[in-house]
Amino acid sequence: MIHKITAKQWDAMLAVHCTAPFRLIQAAAPVMRDAAKRELESNDFATQRCIINVSSTSGTHGNAGQANYSTVYDITLMSTLLSIYRGHHIGVGSRALQLVDLGGGDPQVLWER
């Protein structure tokens, strides 16, 4: 429950689920943009590159007791990145994983948008 989450727990969750993807995207984007630019200059065609943020259904639906976890999966980041990188041949997407037991003890991973 949110009233039981410590500031340290909140900060740790943000560091893992917000700061880490931010730093990875920040490091990868210039490399991706430069590669597309070189391709366009040499042959008027650039291979589409893609940034995909992997989330979970807790980020799209929320779960009791996971306010810090579900908060960090806001789709706004992906929408913002899409508007920034659209013209640089970099696609952006987000996918949420859900583990579902369909019976028989063999859980299946399902993708949710």
CATH label of the domain that carries residue 52: 3.40.50.720
pLDDT tens for 53-80 read: 776 666 656 566 666 666 655 556 677 7
The answer to whether the beta carbons of residues 45 and 36 sit under 8 Å apart is no
State the residue range of the domain holding 59.
2-112
Question: Is 52 within 8 Å of 39 (Cβ atoms)?
Answer: no
Count Cβ atoms within 10 A of the Cβ of residue 14 and give its class: 0-12 exposed, 13-18 middle, 19 or more buried: middle
pLDDT at 34: 94
* Residue 49 pLDDT greater than 50, yes or no: yes
| Count of domains observed in the chain | 1
pTM: 0.64
Give every CB contact of residue 100 below 8 A, 6+ residues apart in sequence: 107, 108, 109, 110
Q: Which residues are paired to 90 by β-bridges?
A: 49
Q: Where are the beta strands (DSSP E) in the chain?
A: 49-56, 90-100, 108-112
